[in-house]
Amino acid sequence: MLEFPIRLAIYKMRYTEALACVRYTSFGEDGIANGVDVVDYGYGEEDLMETDTTSAIEMGMDVSIITSKDINMFPKLAEYTQSL
């Protein structure tokens, strides 16, 4: 079980440039953002995107996803969106 708040935002919208655009934000011990990466995942990179995003969440990073796909297409990510 994760011991910190999960910071995940998923925006489902018309997005045809790639499978998804994902922003990863890392934070220092003081809670201030110390790094931002933006990655475009191409079609066919579903497994890579899901692995990268779930790993980032488990490391305490902020993850924001823009995609036109249903989140249920990504089973591991969909687990984070379920109500407790």
- How many domains are contained in the chain? 1
In a domain, 74, yes or no: yes
Least confident window among 22-26, 41-45, 61-65, 74-78: 74-78
Buried b (16+ CB within 10 A) or exposed e, 3-16: eeeeebebeeeebe
Query: Residue 38's domain spans which residues?
Result: 8-80
- From the list 31, 75, 70, the residue with the least C-alpha distance to 53 is 75
What's residue 1's pLDDT? 42
Put residue 60 in one of left, alpha, beta given phi > 0 → left and psi -120 to 50 → alpha: left
What's residue 43's pLDDT? 92
In a domain, 37, yes or no: yes
In a domain, 53, yes or no: yes
Is pLDDT of 54 > 60?
A: yes
pLDDT band at 45 (very low <50, low <70, confident <90, very high): very high
Is pLDDT of 62 > 90?
A: yes
In a domain, 1, yes or no: no
What's residue 63's pLDDT? 96
In a domain, 69, yes or no: yes
